[in-house]
Structure formats: structure tokens, C-alpha cells
Amino acid sequence: MIGLINYGMGNLHSVAKALEKAGGKVELVSDADALSRYDRIVLPGVGAFRDCVGALQSTGLDLALKERLAAGTPFLGICLGMQVLMDISHEFGRNRGLGLIPGAVNPFPASHPSRGFKIPHMGWNDVILSSQQGIHPVLAPLAGEQVYYVHSYYCAPENPEHLLAACSYGDYPFAAAVGRDNIVAVQFHPEKSQRAGLAMLAAFLQWHP
């Protein structure tokens, strides 16, 4: 059973439907105490970093999530659900994240629009899998595929070992996926990435870190 975290933001319906189509059984969870019931946890998200972290903290879901991840529960973060794993975000000031993956969330260069690269970065783009540590089993179905992105900020993990996949917007590289241990998170939207995204979600359901 997959616990899909509901903190009042995000595209829960489309993520839930994609997980079900990939073969999972999904329940929305907004109660911190209930999070321990689930075999796998997914944190989706669209919107502002500060609001997301604040919503998780106000319900105690931040502490419950950290407890479940420390216990080894497989976890998938999607888009904003990836960014809040970082230490700090520079979106609308300086805001603290969950601190589960050391690093920062930064804006694309201010010069990007003047050079023809609109912000947000939106649409289909590459996902270049890192072979430094071996291709991550959840991301393996994405080899040679493109996926769908919508974001104005990107993650910059401190530890190169946490970088699982990359992409470039214009000539500017950024993290497409990060992870460690039982945590994997992606900047793109697998629920909008058609066949490739469903294959990745199916791999997450079979993953045993």
C-alpha cells in the first residue's frame, strides 16, 4: 500500500491515477500518525517551497516522514516533493527544507529569458542517468527516454553520489533526480511523462532498497 502525502498542495489526483495504472494501491494520507501504515510513501508537489514545508510542519508530517525514512520505507519525491528534501531553498528568500539530502534549491540564471530560455522550464527534455554509482533501479526504465518538466528552480545536491540523473536547460545543467539509501526523488513529473513515467513508477513499486 502506497501512502500519497496530502498536505493541501499538489496534483494528487493525477499522481494517484498514474500510480494505480502502474500497479499500485494508493491512499491519500494527511494524518502524521497514519503514515506508519504504508509500505511506500510518495510526496508529490507543485507550488511554493515555503508553503509546502510549512504545511508539512503544521501537521507533523515532516517528523513522521523523517521517522519512516529512517526506518527504511521506500520513498519517492516528485518535483516540489524533491526540492523540499534539500537543506535550503532560495525561492522567495531563504527557507529551510527537510534536510534529508544535503544541498540547496536555486533559481535558473536571471539571464536565461534574455537568451531565449523561458522560465519556467516547461516541456519534454532529457534525463541523463548517472553511471558513477551504477544506474538506479527506479530510474533504469528512463534510459534513452524524455520526460516532462515544469519548474523554475532546481536542486543542487552537495554530494555527487546523491546525483542520480541530470538534464540541461539551454546550456545550464541541473539535477533531474537525486537520492540515497531508500530515498529517490525526481524533478520531472512521471505522471505526465506517459509510457516512460509509468514504467518508472512501476519500477518504484518493485524497488527493494
Q: Taking the model in full, what pTM does it have?
A: 0.96
pLDDT at residue 83 in the model: 97
Arithmetic mean of pLDDT over the chain: 94
pLDDT at residue 72 in the model: 97
Listed by start position, the domains of the chain span 2-206
pLDDT at residue 144 in the model: 93
pLDDT at residue 3 in the model: 97
pLDDT exceeds cutoff 80 at 10: no
% of the chain exceeding 90 in pLDDT: 85
pLDDT in tens, 68-117: 999 999 999 999 999 999 999 998 889 999 999 999 999 998 888 888 88
% of the chain exceeding 70 in pLDDT: 100
Domain 2-206 has CATH 3.20.20.120: no
Task: Sheet containing 2-5: give its strands across.
Answer: 26-29, 2-5, 40-43, 75-78, 183-186, 172-180, 163-169, 128-129
| Predicted confidence band of residue 46 (pLDDT cuts 50, 70, 90) | confident
Catalytic residue numbers read 79, 189, 191
Through-space distance between the first and last CA atoms of the chain, rounded to whole angstroms = 16
pLDDT in tens, 166-206: 999 988 999 999 999 999 999 999 999 999 999 999 999 99
pLDDT at residue 42 in the model: 98
| Predicted confidence band of residue 163 (pLDDT cuts 50, 70, 90) | very high
At 176, give phi and psi (nearest 5°): -90, -25
pLDDT at residue 201 in the model: 98
| Predicted confidence band of residue 11 (pLDDT cuts 50, 70, 90) | confident
pLDDT at residue 13 in the model: 92
pLDDT at residue 106 in the model: 96
pLDDT at residue 75 in the model: 98
pLDDT at residue 16 in the model: 96
